[in-house]
Amino acid sequence: MLNTMLIREDFPILKREINGRPLIYFDNAATTHKPTQVIEAISRFYREFNANVHRGMHTLSQEASTLYEESFSVVAKFINAYSWEEVIEVKNTTDGLNLAAWGWGLYNLSRGDEIIITVMDHHSSMLPWRIVAERTGAVIRYVDIAEDGDINYTQLEEMLSSRTRVVAITMASNVLGTIVDVKRICRVAHSVGAIVVGDGAQYVPHVPTDVRDLGIDLIAFSGHKMLGPTGIGILWGRRDVLEEMKPFRVGGDTVKDVTLDSIEWHDLPWKFIAGTPHIAGMIGLAEAAKYLMGIGMDNVRQHDIELTKYTLDRFKELENEIFVLGPLDPRKRTGIVSFNVQGLHHHTVAKALDSFGIAVRSGGHCAHPLHYRLGFKGSVRASYYIYNTVDEVETFISSLKFIIALRDMLSKQTIEDRCTGT
C-alpha cells in the first residue's frame, strides 16, 4: 500500500488551487508532476556541478561526467538491464522510437519485408515504421484489437511469417490502458526471427519492468511520465540489436575517430548520443527512478489497480450515461480510464471538469486510428499516478454526475479548441 498522503508532501504543485478548488491532477499519462527530490537534484547540478561532460580535464567537468554517467546505471537498475551501456539517452519516447525505426529499420529492412504494428498504437510508435517502410519498400501489416480491449493475439500469430522482420507494439495503451502480453509477443515474434520494439511510454512508469524477463529487443520510454523532467527519455536495447544499429543523429561524441574518409563509431551508448547531452535531464531522470524504486514498482502497480477498480466500479452507476473504453478487468490495465459521455463532446466534458479543478485530457490522444476503429473522434481520459487518492476519484465521479445533470445546457456551448496536440 502506498502512503499517498506522505507522497503528496513531496509534490509542491499539488498545493495549487485551480478555479478555486484544490487541484485534482488526472492527466498523468500526458506528463507527471515532479517531486522536490527531482527538482532539487536538477537545481543542485546547475548550482554546484555545472560543466560539459566528456570534454574537459578540469575537476568540474570530471565531476559532472561522473554524475551524468552514474545516472545511466540507475536507469539500468530500474529496468534490470544487463549493463548501463544498453541505456541510450534520447529526448523522449517518440525520439527513441524514431531512433529504433531509422537506426535499425533503414539498414535491416528491404522490399517485401513485413513490419507488424497494431491499431492500438500511439502515433509515435506507428508513424516512424510507416515512414521507414516507405523508404525501404517494407510492408506494414496491422493487428486489430479484440472485443475485450486487448490486441488480437491470434491474428498477430497468424500474420507472422519468415517475411516478418519487426513487431512494433504499444506495451500499454495510452487510451485503453490495456497492458499487452509482451512476453507472449516476444516468444512468437522471435520464433520467426523478428525483433520486437516496445513503446514503453505508459508501461515503464506503471508496471515493474524487467527487460531480461520480458525478452524484448528495444523499449523506449519518457522521463517526464515517470516523475522526471521533460526533454529526456531512454531507448533501451539488447546489446546485439544496438550493435546492429547505426546512429540516426551523428556528430560530436558519437565517434572515436574520424579521418576524411573513415568513421570509427564510439562504444555503446555514446555512438547514439550526439552533441552535448541533456546532462541535468539524465540526473533528474535517475533521481526519479530512485524515488520510484524507493516506493517499489509493485506498490505503484497496486495503487493503479486500486484507483482504476474504484473508478470502474463507480462508473457502473453511470452505465447509461457514459461509454468506457478498454478492458473491464482493472488488473489488465494501467491507471488509465478513458470514456465518453452520451451527448457531450469530449472537450466539453474536460472543460467542465476543469471548472471543478480536475485536470483530464480530451481528444484523440495521438491514437486516431484506434479512436476511428472504436467509432469515436476522441475521448476523455483520466489517468492516475502515485499521488492520486480515492477521495479525488470520488470528487471526480460526483463532478461528472453534476455535469451529466447539466448536459442539455452544456451541449449547446461551443468549446474553443485550444489544444494544438491531437
* Residue 73 · residue 84 · CB < 8 Å: yes
Return the residue matching grid coordinates 531512454.
234
Does the protein bind ligand PLP through residue 118 (CB under 6 A)? no
CB of 1 to ligand PLP, least distance (A): 27
Contacts with 105 (C-beta within 8 Å, 6 or more apart), sequence order: 115, 128, 129, 132, 133, 136, 138, 166
Does the footprint of ligand PLP cover residue 338 (CB under 6 A)?
no
Q: Is the torsion defined by CA of 316, 172, 5, 293 positive or negative?
A: positive
**What amino acid is encoded at 337 in this protein?**
V
Residue at 115: amino acid letter: I
Q: Which of residues 96-115 bind ligand PLP (CB under 6 A)?
A: none
Our CB check for ligand PLP shows the closer of 94 and 108 to be 94
Least separation in angstroms between residue 404's CB and ligand PLP is 27
H/E run at residue 42: helix 36-44
92 part of the interface to ligand PLP, by CB under 6 A:
yes
Give me the 39-78 binding string for ligand PLP, x by CB under 6 A, dash otherwise: ----------------------------------------
Please identify, using beta-carbon distances, which residue of 53 and 235 lies nearer to ligand PLP.
235
Q: Among residues 34, 122, 371, 381, which is the contact residue for ligand PLP, using CB under 6 A? A: 122
Q: Which residue lies nearer to ligand PLP by CB, 71 or 174?
A: 174
Does an H or E element contain 372, and which? helix 368-374
Query: Grid coordinates representing 292?
Result: 520510484
Size of the site for ligand PLP (CB under 6 A): 13
Query: Does 124 contact ligand PLP by CB under 6 A?
Result: yes
In the complex, least distance from residue 61 CB atom to ligand PLP, rounded to whole angstroms: 29
CB of 36 to ligand PLP, least distance (A): 23
The reply to whether 94 sits near ligand PLP by the rule CB under 6 A is yes
Q: How far apart, in Å, are the Cα atoms of 360 and each of 28, 355, 412?
A: 9, 11, 21
366 tagged catalytic: yes
94 or 308, CB closer to ligand PLP? 94
Distance CA 214, CA 172 (A): 14
Q: What DSSP line would sit under 68-111, residue for residue?
A: HHHHHHHHHHHTT-S-GGGEEEESSHHHHHHHHIIIIIHHH--T
CB of 276 to ligand PLP, least distance (A): 20
Between 222 and 261, how does the x/- string for binding to ligand PLP read (CB under 6 A)?
x---------------------------------------
Q: How far is CA 22 from CA 97, 319, 350, 391, 401, in A?
A: 37, 28, 16, 12, 19
Summarize the chain as % helix, strand, coil (round to 5).
Answer: 45, 20, 35
Q: With binding defined as CB under 6 A, does residue 32 bind ligand PLP?
A: no
Subset of residues 125 to 154 that bind ligand PLP, contact rule: CB under 6 A: 125
Shortest Cβ distance from residue 388 to ligand PLP (Å)? 17
* Residues within window 152-211 making contact with ligand PLP, judged by CB under 6 A: 170, 174, 199, 201-202
Catalytic residue among 366, 380, 393, 410: 366
Q: 255 φ, ψ to 5°?
A: -125, 155
For residue 180, give the nearest of 196, 161, 163 by alpha carbon: 196
How far apart are CB 233 and ligand PLP at their closest, in Å?
6
Contact 18, 354 (CB under 8 A): yes
Binding residues for ligand PLP, per CB under 6 A? 29, 92-94, 122, 124-125, 170, 174, 199, 201-202, 222
Which residues are known catalytic residues?
366
